[in-house]
Chains A and B, each alone.
Chain A
Amino acid sequence: MKPNLLIIHPHDNVAVALCAIGAGETAVAQGIEGLTAVSDIPASHKIALEDIAAGQEIVKYGEIVAVSTHAIKKGEWVHTHNLESKRWKR
């Protein structure tokens, strides 16, 4: 199956959807297999690569870009509804 996800940095706990991925569909990236989307992921949005606890750092580009506000399940959409900026409210 052709990759529909991009993992930008090996330390990242989120990946970017290269196209819209529906809940229940399989998400594939170079180096990972068998991840199932548990919610709809819009194109160019983030999907959790592992379970992320509430208050845990969201890592993309190998850097902390946000902190989760809720527990996020592996395969779940990661966006403004379940994270916040570490320094700003946006």
Chain B
Amino acid sequence: MEAMTEITGYARPNGTFGVRNHVLVLATVSCVTGVIQRIAREVPEAVCVPHAWGCGRGGPRDVQVLLRVLSGMVHHPNVGAVVLIGLGCEVSNTRTLAAMIGDAGKPLEILNVQEDGGSLATARKGAAAARRLLEQIGVQRRVPMPWNRVLAGMECGGSDAMSGVTANVAIGAVADWLVAQGATVIFGENTEMIGTAHVLARRAKNDRVAKQIEQMVDRAERLTQDLMGDMASLVISPGNMDGGMSTIAEKAMGSICKGGTTTINQVVDYGEAPTERGLILQDGPGYDGDSMTGLAVSGAQLMFFSTGRGTPAGFPGVPVIKVASNSRVCAAMPDDMDVNAGALVEGKPRETLRDEMIDLMMRVINGEPTQAERHGMDVFSFMTVHPPF
């Protein structure tokens, strides 16, 4: 299939393209959650993101991830303008963040509850700022967007026995097509790679990337054993086996096939932006919300998300195309699924499904909302490695 249809996006000063043009209202810390929620009620057009972090985790890795995620949300290409709502005394305070987002090249307004008159006054000012920014960026227009500026994240969650047979295979075919167009595809979930380090390493661009893959999967395996002890073998569970998966390698292949079959050009850290194109692996966790945040903060403008049991999860400001592995979940959760890969079971040819998914992806890039976008099913959480103190 030729890339006949033109795709469009919002050209950002740093050379990236957004497939949406949102005003993001972002909390720096959990303490201001209520303020964000008030703004969300007053300005529903804004993408309002409260969260449970921002303070209380002092380890260097957690602080690194916290600042990378919050500044990455501000930098995200789908975000045209930002209202940052801080408290004043948190670790990820607006002064620290300001130094990291000064180069974002988009309108930015900063408020702090402790300095801006408390919660109600801050919510009022924040809502006014969001409305002002919506008007300001509303004049920006879509322009033709080259495929080599597309970064697509691939995710799976709430999997069933068919996820690795229908949905992930279908997503993998789209991934291969995207890479052939010059686009970039990224997927993470290192715990889902256990048992396939040798497969992934063989597909690495060079020895250095191969070594990084092996180290990443080794770490994931050791962490799983440390945390779960004798239960580590349950990474492949009796339920998985009832579903026909015989070995951990087979289960993992069912997951990693969503990245397609092309050369792996780079391994990036959680939330780190790739500097290569083509297929990229992310060293991130398997938990859906945390994983999607890592992919988004790496710059993914859209995601494919396969599910067999069914999850409504989307991501703030990023279209998430939900691919059902079976027709049953499509019927059971009709407002949550965008694609039925279960149609393969009913005889739909694989190439037809792939082409339909590519066509839908183009429409989504050009502005058609996904189910999760339409219904506001945003999930936002991110990885931490230590307990709070």
Does A pair with B?
yes
Which chain A residues have a beta carbon within 8 Å of chain B's beta carbons? 2-3, 6, 8, 16-19, 30, 42-46, 58, 60-66, 78-80, 83-88, 90
Q: List 10 A-B contacts (CB under 8 A).
A: A3-B347, A18-B345, A30-B349, A46-B246, A63-B196, A85-B195, A85-B247, A85-B249, A88-B247, A90-B247
Residue of B195, B233, B254, B346 near A61 (CB, 8 A) is B254
Smallest Cβ distance from A74 to chain B, in angstroms?
18
A44 and B247: CB pair below 8 A?
no
Identity of the chain B residue whose Cβ is nearest the Cβ of A65 in the assembled complex: B250
What residues of chain B lie closer than 8 Å to A80, measured between beta carbons?
241, 246
Identity of the chain A residue whose Cβ is nearest the Cβ of B253 in the assembled complex: A61
A54 to B135 alpha-carbon distance, docked (Å): 70
B149 within 8 A of A: no
By Cβ-Cβ distance, the 6 closest A-B pairs, closest first, are A45-B244, A65-B250, A44-B161, A85-B247, A61-B253, A44-B244
Contact A6 to B233, CB < 8 A, known contacts A16-B165, A65-B247, A88-B248: no
What residues of chain B lie closer than 8 Å to A83, measured between beta carbons?
246-247
Smallest Cβ distance from A63 to chain B, in angstroms?
5
B162 within 8 A of A: yes
Identity of the chain B residue whose Cβ is nearest the Cβ of A80 in the assembled complex: B246
B249 and A19: CB pair below 8 A?
no
A interface secondary structure, majority = loop
A63 and B199: CB pair below 8 A?
yes
Contact A8 to B169, CB < 8 A, known contacts A18-B345, A19-B345, A44-B161: yes
A79 and B195: CB pair below 8 A?
no
> 8 Å CB contacts to A: which residues of B152-191?
161-162, 165-166, 169
A3 to B346 alpha-carbon distance, docked (Å): 8
B257 within 8 A of A: yes
A46 to B165 alpha-carbon distance, docked (Å): 11
Smallest Cβ distance from A14 to chain B, in angstroms?
10
Q: Give a binary string over B225-253; 1 marks a CB under 8 Å from any A CB, 0 the rest.
A: 00000000100100001011011111001
